[in-house]
Structure 1
Amino acid sequence: MTEPTDPTPASSDAAAAVALDTAQDQAAEDDTDLRDSLAGLSRLTLGLTGLADMLTHVAEFAAGAIPGADGAGLTLLSEDWPDTVVASAEFVRQVDEIQYGLGEGPCITAAAEGRTVSSGSLGGDMAWPRFGPRAGRLGVHSVMSLPLVGADGVLGSLNVYSHTKDAFDDRAIELGELFAIPAGFSAHSAQELDTARRLAAQLETALTSRAVIDRAIGIMMSRSGCTAAEAFDKLRVISQTENTKLALVAQRVLDEAVRRARARRAER
């Protein structure tokens, strides 16, 4: 009986060469995906969209940049608690809602401790004994959560999920951490711009309200001969009595003055 022979050195070398070529091709493809996602990230601008939409695009680029990802989510914190939560896919939103509802999960750990955390088998991961099994029952088995760091420190986290077990190897984590650096600064800039835009809108509203109040004060002064301070006190009393904003009370005075003026004009 002939003994089986070992593969020849030539065939072993050929197999090794094929494996090396495949690995190199995959690495090149991963690098291309990362470059494309970073290029897209650099073109994002808050001027064309709102904060949540912009952050959703960041999450989508993350899912495209990180090998093995089926979806990604991004969370910004306010006073150490989730304030803005976006997702590239509906299942990501469901998983993130579970961990925020429980107060336990990789996103919370990554943001609180400022480090990357990952798991390849959430259903049995004792790091998050309540969150893990519930995520596993949704068919989500792998996660990588990366802290997002801005100019003032950790401002949130980037969460990447996969339905496959052990989806994120060392290379995926390396690419994720590379992506998280500019993503953190993009998120920080978007947050700052959104805050500035909201403050500008509030200031504009306040100035408009002030103009309405001043006009209402003038109308009341002309009607009753009271001083500006007395007219303002009357408006304030009405506001407090009716539990209505002062600007709305003032607008009602203006509307009534306009109605009376039009009525008088119609009588002529």
Structure 2
Amino acid sequence: MSDPVSAVARDLAEIGRLVDDDDLDTALSRYIDRVVTTVPGCDHAAITVRTEHGPQPVATNLPAAVTENSHRPTVAVGPIGEVLAHREPRYLGDTRVDERWPAYSALLRRAGLRSCLALPLPANRTRSAAFSLYSRTPAQFDSASHDLILLFTLHAGSTFDNVSTYHHCRSLVTHLEAALDNRTTIGRAQGLLMRHHDTSTDDAFDHLRTISQRHNTKLRDIATQLVTAQDNGKFASVLSTLTSAPTSPSPS
């Protein structure tokens, strides 16, 4: 029979493949659930990133009362905030007696949590991230669970990097698709103006820009109006309205 750490490692590898297959919600949810069911005494877990607005959970099964208040300034200076700022581990052994982070300890106490271990994620990113475990039992997460916690921490860094890369790529693709759509629409509008006025590409673009400035409206929105009008058989009338309408006042 294989040892528990090896079994967990195989399961984490499977979760990593889910990330590769773009099933991100399932991957993160299974990851957090696996932490809670495997690490002795762990009742909740979270992955948190540092943002300009303070610590922001990106994966968590913490009670809503904790996550909804974790961005408050008095709470953000707690152990999670320090891990994100200094990339060093922090351990809150008992929320009833620890006096280092009173606001954060009080927040956890109200949720019935007594101890917290927060570790920096060893991963490649510009923004720091933290992996935190929570227990209803004080002085939890001792040396007996060290190997499991270390394994989860190392894998959390890899998983979070994969998720971050995926979201970055998706965002980039979305922006590129929008840019291509805008370029296509503007190109179609130029073609319509060239045919309507029997003019050059540059003159058609200047005409679009003039209308855009006249109406204080983005160029792509003017182009969309003209293309839609053409599709509805109303190009000439819409163009006439846009061309002859008075100049809109610029926003103050």
CA distance in structure 2 between the aligned counterparts of 1:42 and 1:168, rounded to whole angstroms? 25
Q: Is residue 129 of structure 2 the alignment partner of residue 156 of structure 1?
A: yes
Point out where structure 1 has 5 or more consecutive residues left out of the alignment.
1-27, 263-268
Give the RMSD, CA atoms, in angstroms: 2.9
User: Which region of structure 1 is more displaced relative to structure 2, 189-198 or 235-244?
Assistant: 235-244
Matched pairs, number: 232
CA distance in structure 2 between the aligned counterparts of 1:184 and 1:258, rounded to whole angstroms? 51
Q: Confirm or deny: 8 A CA contact 2:35 2:152 kept in the other structure.
A: yes
Pick the structure with greater CA Rg: 1
Q: Is residue 165 of structure 2 the alignment partner of residue 192 of structure 1?
A: yes
Percent pairwise identity: 27
Offset, 1:154: 6.5
SS of the residue corresponding to residue 42 of structure 2 reads: coil
Offset, 1:157: 0.8
Corresponding residue to 2:110 among 137, 155, 161: 137
CA distance in structure 2 between the aligned counterparts of 1:87 and 1:159, rounded to whole angstroms? 9
2:31 counterpart residue number: 58
CA distance in structure 1 between the aligned counterparts of 2:65 and 2:214, rounded to whole angstroms? 45
Corresponding residue to 1:42 among 10, 16, 19: 16
CA distance in structure 1 between the aligned counterparts of 2:231 and 2:42, rounded to whole angstroms? 61
CA distance in structure 2 between the aligned counterparts of 1:251 and 1:153, rounded to whole angstroms? 38
Q: Please state which structure has a larger fraction of its residues in helix.
A: 1
Q: Confirm or deny: 8 A CA contact 2:55 2:80 kept in the other structure.
A: no
The one-character-per-residue Cα deviations of 1:159-201 (angstroms, maximum 9, x if unpaired) are 1111222222222344212211121012112211221122122
Offset, 1:156: 0.5
SS of the residue corresponding to residue 158 of structure 1 reads: strand
Q: Which amino acid aligns with 2:185?
A: V
User: Which region of structure 1 is more displaced relative to structure 2, 124-133 or 166-175?
Assistant: 166-175
Task: Sort the Cα spacing of 1:237 and 1:171 in 2 relative to 1 into closer, same or farther, 3 A.
Answer: farther
1:101 counterpart residue number: 72
TM-score (norm. length: structure 2): 0.78
Q: Which amino acid aligns with 1:45?
A: V
Which stretches of structure 1, 4 residues or longer, exceed 6 Å deviation after superposition? Answer: none
CA distance in structure 1 between the aligned counterparts of 2:61 and 2:232, rounded to whole angstroms? 52
SS of the residue corresponding to residue 234 of structure 1 reads: helix
TM-score (norm. length: structure 1): 0.74
CA distance in structure 2 between the aligned counterparts of 1:84 and 1:241, rounded to whole angstroms? 45
2:145 counterpart residue number: 172
Point out where structure 2 has 5 or more consecutive residues left out of the alignment.
236-252
